[in-house]
Structure 1
Amino acid sequence: MTEATIGAGAFDRDTAITPRGEGVYDADLSADWTIGHAVNGGYLLALIGRALGDALPHPDPFTITAHYLTASRPGPATVRTSTVRTGRTLSTGTASLVQIDEEGREVERIRVLASYGDLTALPDDVRTSAEPPRIPPYERCLGARDGMDPSAIPPMTHQIDLRMDPATVGWAVGAPSGRGEMRAWFGLADGRDPDPISLLMTVDALPPTAFDLGLSGWVPTVELTVHVRRRPAPGPLRVSITTRNLAGGFLEEDAEVWDSEDRLVAQSRQLARALSA
């Protein structure tokens, strides 16, 4: 199979936007990125991020925060953007994704606040105590579809190349570790290399850490903040997600994304609900 290039892969097709007036974009939310009946929150953030990148004078998301108000469904959607401030280094904007419900009413699904800049203009100086996650080699990790009932595989799983660290998949055989950890090699199924927009999806693409705590069922995102730190190098990514506290039916998830050159390229934190199956 010929590998897709940035701008020509399934991810680019499914996050495409069509301008309709100043700061307004039409989109079609793909059913290929659903888990259950809802569209994945990271995919939605990437689509909105693409609209903001077109509307703002700077190209790359530096920090983007989304509040998920109602579950999005496959089908037509509109993204409305507004420029809040423009500076030499950063520009800030807001965006809302809306859909028309079954009764013909407009419903806001997501509201976003973001600051954009130019990742290629950043200095090379790095001072960090962070280290890449220790994950076994790709070939010794487990594919997301290994041993699963094909009828139970979410559509989104077919769009990504996910190879899980065996130490973090005990939950799949009824033996969760209780540590609240997920680690994996990550890429897109068609071989498209990562870029800043795809990183917005990557941070929300692994199984929920709630599974490793012994819970099952839907884990909808309430709020998600992503910091994009570098433009990723070509090749597979390594993703680590952890939670330290589940209380009152809510948990936090902290994600780190590392590229093939051992650079930390994205970080995120989200608040999610842990719903019983």
Structure 2
Amino acid sequence: MSSIETPGGASATSEFDRDTAVTLREPGVYDAELSAGWTIIRAVNGGYLLALLGRALGDHLPHPDPFTISAHYLTPSVPGPAVIRAETVRTGRTLSTGQASLYQYAEDGTEVERIRVLASYGDLATLPDDVRTSATPPAFAPIDQCFGASDSPAPPIPGSSAITERLDLRLDPSTVGWAIGAPSGKGEMRAWFGLADGRDADPLSLLLAVDALPPTSFELGLKGWTPTVELTTHIRCRPAPGPLRVSITTRNLAGGFLEEDAEVWDSADRLVAQSRQLARAPRG
């Protein structure tokens, strides 16, 4: 068996890289260990899981970078051993498509499917420079005027908040009313994003970034776990070094479900990732 290395063949020195490492057991089958360091409330974070599956597919497919990846979260994942089974759906000159599922083990040893993804991969380095867009970065407070985890006046989250120790999140003051009992009602969340160990962003960490902020439901006056049902992410280009800006909005909460639309902007003011997810609204 061999462990999958980080891009460029460098050994994994970042906690994110170590915790998303996968080991090839046989063609299309990878062993992994879901780290307790990426849990929130009572489950492993969905963006971290997406990055883990993204790493396995990047090894399995002939192209290196995720262009689009859609994940359905079937059952909550927990820290511990997991196996990823990947297969190629189609390969072409510029894109290859694959699917993968992550399984964990029940008490009787049977496999329980946690997530199933379908993804198309390409090579971001080969994309043309032509950009025609009406998208502009949202307004953000300067990073030194935003709130980190140690600044939050909110009471501790029931259960685990381990993921906050691995992220460098600085929440925009206009989206932290929930922390002092005065949610804005706008369904918006904005933050500067980085990894706590200083690792630069890349396509895999973008898969984490789109699902790393507090849920927009907090600013709608709801508290509690907001489990993801489905998450689709588009990676548009490789991010420049430096902190990212993540903006997430919800326009419609109905029937106990809400959508979250995310944009991720890099230090060069480029829109590097977009996503939409459907989540269950908390009951609080």
Q: TM class, shorter-chain normalised?
A: over 0.9
CA deviations 1:120-147 (Å, max 9, x no partner) are 0000000001011211111000112313
Other-structure match for 1:189? 196
Does residue 63 in structure 1 map to residue 68 in structure 2? yes
Which of 164, 169, 172 in structure 2 is aligned with 1:162?
169
- Checking the alignment, whether the CA contact within 8 Å between 1:83 and 1:92 is kept in structure 2 is yes
- Checking the alignment, whether the CA contact within 8 Å between 2:154 and 2:180 is kept in structure 1 is no
Q: 1:208-227, aligned counterparts within 5 Å?
A: 208-227=215-234
- Checking the alignment, whether the CA contact within 8 Å between 2:46 and 2:211 is kept in structure 1 is yes
CA deviations 1:206-245 (Å, max 9, x no partner) are 0000011000111000000000000000100000000000
- Checking the alignment, whether the CA contact within 8 Å between 1:6 and 1:192 is kept in structure 2 is no
Which of 137, 144, 149 in structure 2 is aligned with 1:144?
149
- The alpha-carbon distance between structure 1 residues 217 and 151, as it changes in their structure 2 partners (threshold 3 A), is closer
Q: Shift in Å at residue 9 of structure 1?
A: 0.3
Amino acid at match of 1:188: L
- Of structures 1 and 2, the one with the larger relative CO (CA 8 A, separation 6+) is 1
For 2:207, what is the secondary structure of its paired residue? helix
For 2:150, what is the secondary structure of its paired residue? coil
* Alignment size in residue pairs: 273
- Checking the alignment, whether the CA contact within 8 Å between 1:239 and 1:255 is kept in structure 2 is yes
User: How far apart, in 2, do the equivalents of 1:256 and 1:219 lie?
Assistant: 19
Does residue 274 in structure 1 map to residue 271 in structure 2? no
Other-structure match for 1:16? 21
Runs in 1 of length 4+ with deviation above 4 angstroms? Answer: 148-153
Q: 1:110-259, aligned counterparts within 5 Å?
A: 110-146=115-151, 147-148=153-154, 154-259=161-266
- Checking the alignment, whether the CA contact within 8 Å between 2:190 and 2:248 is kept in structure 1 is yes
Q: Shift in Å at residue 6 of structure 1?
A: 8.9
Q: 1:94-113, aligned counterparts within 5 Å?
A: 94-113=99-118
Does residue 39 in structure 1 map to residue 44 in structure 2? yes
TM-score normalized by structure 2? 0.94
Q: Shift in Å at residue 196 of structure 1?
A: 0.3
Q: Shift in Å at residue 148 of structure 1?
A: 4.8
TM-score normalized by structure 1? 0.96
